[in-house]
Structure 1
Amino acid sequence: MSPETPLTLLGGLSAADFLRDHWQRKPLLIRGAFPDFECPLAPEELAGLACEENIEARLVEERGPEGPWQVSHGPFDEATFARLPERDWTLLVQAVDHYVPEVAALLEPFTFLPRWRLDDIMVSYAPPGGSVGPHVDQYDVFLLQGRGSRRWQLGGKVADDAPILAGIDLRILETFEVEADQDWVLEPGDMLYLPPGWAHHGVSQSTDCMTFSVGFRAPSADEAVTSFADYLGEQLPASKRYGDAGMAPPADPAELDDAALARMRALILETLDDPAQMAQWFGRVMTQPKYADQLVPTETPTDPDDLVAALQEGEALVRSPGSRFAWRALDETRATLFADGDGVACALPLARTLASDAPLDAALLAFEEAPALLGALRDAGSLAWPDEFEEQ
């Protein structure tokens, strides 16, 4: 599909137009983004996920028994839901696409964005009046209405240091003023795109409401600098140090003079300015799994011969729902495949296939290195046979 092709998902805009005019710039309301939408998840199923161990879930009660805007963290139990009032609370469950294939299928139309930018699909359920208050997120998000209706009000882009309510476990804005013409009620299939830093407030209307939040992540500058420095530090030899050969005698031996600072600055900048190392680090950090415990390593190493035999008999490996893959070309024939925070060099077409949605079947055996690589990915928990996922 051409980036110039109009997309229903984007209200008739092409991907190129959306990325130029809206992505990280301004909101976009899309009526009927998913025509004839049928919600792929029932409220009871979402509540069931919130009761499971290792699934991140939160309950927000505007008037909780312990005070206003009370936040509780899962796993929950039936008694928790039984005590809740008929209105004014919200259940939020993260990474539902990792557990429900029908929810993961909602990601298929978003291929106009880099796959490695995707965070997850968070699903919220709320009876009438349910909300998490006016707030700001520091990531791009598409808010797809799945069930019932929700009123969204936008307050424009706000400063990073905008005052928030103290004493609660939510970053609710102290003041929120709705901008003109930025007040809508979304019905099932409607979607609202919000760039980072945009104040917004969503409230469930007269019936039960479910919203699917497709979020996209980006590391902050402080996270990136720290992470890249740590990665480089693991690669550098101990012999690479500050040097001052040929320096002039100091006017005062206790002074940190400009020349010394310039030498240290040059050492740091020369070390950091390494595009090849930057690419290797970036691939690893952007494919780190959101929940590492979702990857279940094998108890015994995979036998490459057994793997080849299984593929030749018609079986196919599948990617772990919690895994992240990406690739970067090294030259015309080789690439680094990044998988769940690790990187390995392999044939470029093999890397592209593994990082795509293509079947992982016997066709991969055309690459001599495929059995060993597939075995390593299975041992790490990034890949598995379908029945192994059913057992987990």
Structure 2
Amino acid sequence: MNIDSLNWGDLSPEIFLAQYWQKKPLLIKQAFTNFEDSITADELAGLAMEGEIESRIVSVNSKAEWQVDHGPFEDFSQYGETDWTLLVQAVNNWSRPTHDLLAPFAFIPSWRIDDVMVSFSTPNGGVGAHLDQYDVFIIQGSGKRRWQVGAPDSSLTTLLPHPDLKQVSKFEAIIDEITQAGDLLYIPPNHPHNGVSIENSVNFSIGFQAPSSQELWSSFADKLIDNNLGEQRFSDPERALSQASFNITQHDKQQLKAFMLQQLDQEGFYEQFIGQYLTQGHHALEILVPVNEIDEEKLKDILSEPDILFMPVSGLKAAIINDNQTTLYINGESFALDNNTLELAQHLAQQEPLTTQKVKSFTHCLKNTQLLTNVLNKGYWYIE
């Protein structure tokens, strides 16, 4: 199985973005040939036993009563052989092969991707018909599943069969297919969908980051507070005589609006905010801080070994902004760059494993050595 290649058939990434992305759902049969699960059901169950990993089991009984249980779990025997689904968030943070499932979707900027959720379903298992507020690609792993996907419909009723489970009423399906290993389903936001497992099956759901305006403004305000900015008071030294003191005039509204937007117009500060915000992980990472700090001399000793591999922590979020000040952002932290460090930073942002030979090609420059040891000491990269 070559997961790097996606069999588009008559389509292409360009056609997909133009005709389907955030517009209509799509099913590509055998998008991945000879697809094999990146993680076994037993390994997934093991992750669901860990306290720092978000997991849940959604089940339905013979009376059509829904139940949601949150991990960590100690035992799964109580759920029986049918009618339940285990869902584990951000499996790509703990499974390198699962993280590698993101490679075929590099035609979309990596900052847009949130995580890879993996689900294991027994026969008739599912979470019910529902809507998501974000895009999702679902790769069918082992087993078979019936998927129904509809178009946006404002007449749908929201259902709450359990306090932790939001569903929608029945909808008219525009896709109604049975998926098998290697099939790929794309579902845009606000399209009702329902997946029911026909047999024991595994699904890999690649969810996208779609911050709301409220979340962006709230986080931006937090950053202003953290940096003691935005404390200046509104002023209007050119105030004209008021003709009616009870009016808020159009001019006043525009002045206040401009005053509020002044911080956004500080390009350097905004760049720093957006770079940090978009690379901040929403789920736990396996940060691997070295026991002993790595300095320039220690790095030289490490590089004396010919077969060393420098690896990024699985699930890490990284990006580069090239505008005002070229900066590398990793897990919400910023690293200023210049012409000497840009190439190394690009490798770090792409999260490519680096061989001893490759690292040596950069370490003739002290700034590169400092950048590399910095990310190693923070535990974002590690030496395998």
TM over 0.5, shorter chain: yes
CA distance change for structure 1 residues 292 and 38 in 2, over 3 Å: closer, same or farther? closer
Are residues 1:70 and 2:64 paired?
no
One-letter code of the match for 2:208? F
Q: Please state how far the C-alpha of 1:195 moved relative to its aligned partner.
A: 0.9
Aligned length: 372
CA distance change for structure 1 residues 237 and 94 in 2, over 3 Å: closer, same or farther? closer
Deviating more after overlay: 282-291 vs 24-33 = 282-291
What are the Cα deviations for residues 301-333 of structure 1, in whole angstroms up to 9, with x where unaligned?
4323212331343333211113211112147xx
Q: Please state how far the C-alpha of 1:226 moved relative to its aligned partner.
A: 1.4
CA distance change for structure 1 residues 271 and 291 in 2, over 3 Å: closer, same or farther? same
Q: Please state how far the C-alpha of 1:18 moved relative to its aligned partner.
A: 0.8
Matches within 5 A, 1:204-353: 204-205=197-198, 207-235=199-227, 237=229, 240-250=232-242, 256-292=248-284, 294-298=286-290, 301-314=293-306, 315-330=308-323, 335-346=326-337, 347-353=341-347
Are residues 1:60 and 2:58 paired?
yes
Partners of 2:179 and 2:367 in 1: CA distance: 50
Are residues 1:356 and 2:347 paired?
no
Partners of 1:223 and 1:120 in 2: CA distance: 18
CA distance change for structure 1 residues 178 and 239 in 2, over 3 Å: closer, same or farther? closer
The normalised TM-score by structure 1 is 0.87
Give yes or no for contact 1:136–1:199 (8 Å, CA) kept in 2: yes
| Highest RCO, 1 vs 2 (Cα 8 Å, sep ≥ 6) | 2
Q: Aligned to 2:238, what secondary structure does the other structure show?
A: coil
Partners of 2:214 and 2:372 in 1: CA distance: 35
Q: Please state how far the C-alpha of 1:167 moved relative to its aligned partner.
A: 4.4
Q: Which residue of 2 aligns with 1:30?
A: 28
Are residues 1:198 and 2:191 paired?
yes
One-letter code of the match for 1:120? D
What are the Cα deviations for residues 101-143 of structure 1, in whole angstroms up to 9, with x where unaligned?
2222222222212112111111111111001000011111111
Q: Which residue of 2 aligns with 1:4?
A: none
Are residues 1:144 and 2:124 paired?
no
Give yes or no for contact 2:313–2:381 (8 Å, CA) kept in 1: yes
Deviating more after overlay: 17-26 vs 271-280 = 271-280
Are residues 1:182 and 2:180 paired?
no
CA distance change for structure 1 residues 268 and 87 in 2, over 3 Å: closer, same or farther? same
CA distance change for structure 1 residues 136 and 198 in 2, over 3 Å: closer, same or farther? same
What are the Cα deviations for residues 217-276 of structure 1, in whole angstroms up to 9, with x where unaligned?
121111012112332444565663311112134456676555443322221123323344
What's the % identity of the aligned pairs? 37
Give yes or no for contact 1:323–1:339 (8 Å, CA) kept in 2: yes
Partners of 1:367 and 1:10 in 2: CA distance: 43
CA distance change for structure 1 residues 210 and 220 in 2, over 3 Å: closer, same or farther? same
Give yes or no for contact 2:319–2:330 (8 Å, CA) kept in 1: yes
Q: Aligned to 2:30, what secondary structure does the other structure show?
A: coil
Partners of 2:161 and 2:77 in 1: CA distance: 29
Partners of 1:160 and 1:50 in 2: CA distance: 36
- Calculate the aligned-residue CA RMSD, in Å: 2.5
Deviating more after overlay: 140-149 vs 297-306 = 297-306
Q: Please state how far the C-alpha of 1:350 moved relative to its aligned partner.
A: 2.4
Q: Aligned to 1:309, what secondary structure does the other structure show?
A: helix
Give yes or no for contact 1:291–1:322 (8 Å, CA) kept in 2: no
Q: Please state how far the C-alpha of 1:279 moved relative to its aligned partner.
A: 2.4
Q: Which residue of 2 aligns with 1:385?
A: 383
Q: Please state how far the C-alpha of 1:9 moved relative to its aligned partner.
A: 3.5
Give yes or no for contact 1:33–1:191 (8 Å, CA) kept in 2: yes
Q: Which residue of 1 aligns with 2:117?
A: 122
One-letter code of the match for 1:278? Y
The normalised TM-score by structure 2 is 0.88
Partners of 1:274 and 1:309 in 2: CA distance: 44
One-letter code of the match for 2:259? L
Q: Aligned to 1:165, what secondary structure does the other structure show?
A: strand
Give yes or no for contact 2:99–2:315 (8 Å, CA) kept in 1: no
Partners of 1:309 and 1:335 in 2: CA distance: 30
Q: Please state how far the C-alpha of 1:383 moved relative to its aligned partner.
A: 1.4
Partners of 1:42 and 1:124 in 2: CA distance: 11
Q: Aligned to 1:59, what secondary structure does the other structure show?
A: strand
Q: Please state how far the C-alpha of 1:282 moved relative to its aligned partner.
A: 1.4
One-letter code of the match for 1:112? F
One-letter code of the match for 2:273? W
